[in-house]
Structures are given as C-alpha cells and as structure tokens.
C-alpha cells in the first residue's frame, strides 16, 4: 500500500507546506543533530526525541505561531520545516524560521520557494505588517536568498554566534507591508502552483471574482 500523501495547506510549484506530523520526530531529530545543520539552527547541544516532540507540540498548540512541514511534491519527500513565531496581533509582526534538513535536497532552490510561500502566507493570509528573521553572517547563501526575496537588512548583533572557533555577527532582516509592492507580490505568487493561486488572489481581484 503506497504511503499516504501529506496534507497540503499551501501548494507551490515544487514544494508544499502542510501540517507538521509528530510521526516525523525521528527524522527531525536526526537532522537537527547533524553537524552540517547545527550551525544554522543554533542548537549546539544534543537534541533528544523528547525535546523535539515538546518543541513541535508547543509550536502546533501556540496561538501566536504557525508551523509547516515542507514536502517535495514529487514523491512527498519530507524536506524540513518552516514557521512564523511570536505573532503579535496588535503590532502585526512575526518571526520567520526555516531549515532544510534533507542533505540531498539543499542548494536546489527549494528552501527559497518554501520561504516565499511562508512569507506570502504571513503577509497575505495572516495580514502581518512585518515579518522579521535573523541569519548568521557566515550563511551567505541564505543572506542572498532573503535579499532576492525583498527582505532588508536592519541591524547587526555583533559577535552573537560562536562557530568554528570564531564569533560571528547575526544579521537582522525584515520585510514590511509597505515594501509589498504589486511587483513583489506577483513575484511571490509566482511560486504558487496554479491550483492554489486562488488562496492569494491577484492584485485588484476579489475572492468571488467580482
């Protein structure tokens, strides 16, 4: 019997975002303990299945956060996780996090697509005014992706991260609603599969097409 297809909340061209499945705990734990990933998720201590389960249960139950499992649409392969934390209903702000755990699927633009889909949901689905993130200065690939997607550098926490025998800066970035031009919005909608484009109508359109 073939494995059940995971639920899709947002369907992109190559990846989908859906509910986080607690049955995937062992996979997440293996990834987070991987020396190739630890520097980017900022967990320099061993993570147990119990700790990861508690973290995911907290994320799923939180009223001020939303998390997604990232799956490759071709074959439903689990790739990683993305989330918006600390959603403030008055300030309309949130904190973005992501990791791609599957080593074979890194550096293929899939993280960029997942970032775009999550950002689109933050700005359009959740109606946030501000989505912020923090990235370590040595993660040059991620810095480039965020800048290409319209996130702007706002500040630096100097020498905030110890990695590979040195202290490194943490770069603070954000995208605001006022940055959300029609051109940028359409760029983000371009990552959607056509069947899910209706969840985020084109500029000037209304949900009923009127």
CATH of the domain at 32: 3.40.630.30
User: Does 62 reside within a domain?
Assistant: yes
Task: Give the structural domain span for 122.
Answer: 10-192
User: Does 197 reside within a domain?
Assistant: no
Copy the structure tokens of residue 195. 């069947």
Pick from 82, 37, 93, 90: nearest CA to 56: 82
User: Does 38 reside within a domain?
Assistant: yes
User: Does 31 reside within a domain?
Assistant: yes
Residue 203 has a pLDDT of 66
User: Does 168 reside within a domain?
Assistant: yes
User: Does 36 reside within a domain?
Assistant: yes
User: Does 130 reside within a domain?
Assistant: yes
Strands 77-88 and 10-11: unpaired
User: Does 204 reside within a domain?
Assistant: no
- Domain tally for the chain? 1
Torsion angle (degrees, nearest 10) of CA 156, 66, 28, 173: -10
Per-residue pLDDT of the chain (210 residues; tens, 9 = 90+): 445 677 889 999 999 999 999 999 999 999 999 988 888 888 888 999 999 999 999 999 999 999 999 999 999 999 999 999 999 999 999 999 999 998 888 888 999 999 999 999 999 999 999 999 999 999 999 999 999 999 999 999 999 999 989 999 999 999 999 999 888 999 999 999 988 778 888 765 544 443
């Amino acid at each position: 019997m073939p494995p059940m297809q995971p639920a899709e909340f947002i369907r992109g061209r190559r990846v989908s975002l859906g509910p986080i499945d607690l049955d995937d705990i062992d996979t997440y734990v293996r990834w987070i303990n991987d020396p190739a990933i630890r520097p980017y998720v900022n967990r320099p201590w061993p993570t147990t299945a119990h700790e990861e389960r508690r973290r995911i249960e907290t994320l799923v139950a939180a009223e001020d956060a939303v998390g997604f499992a990232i799956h490759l649409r071709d074959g439903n392969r689990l790739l990683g996780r993305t989330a918006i934390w600390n959603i403030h209903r008055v300030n309309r702000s949130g904190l973005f996090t992501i990791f791609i755990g599957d080593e074979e699927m890194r550096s293929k633009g899939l993280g960029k697509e997942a970032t775009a889909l999550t950002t689109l949901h933050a700005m359009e689905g959740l109606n946030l005014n501000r989505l912020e993130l923090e990235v370590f200065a040595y993660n040059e690939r991620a810095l480039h992706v965020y800048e290409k997607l319209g996130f702007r550098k706002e500040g630096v926490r100097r020498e905030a991260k110890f990695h590979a025998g040195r202290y490194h800066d943490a770069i603070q970035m954000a995208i605001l609603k006022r940055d959300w031009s029609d051109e940028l919005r359409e760029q983000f909608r371009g990552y959607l599969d056509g069947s899910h484009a209706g969840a985020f109508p084109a500029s000037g359109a209304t949900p009923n097409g009127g």
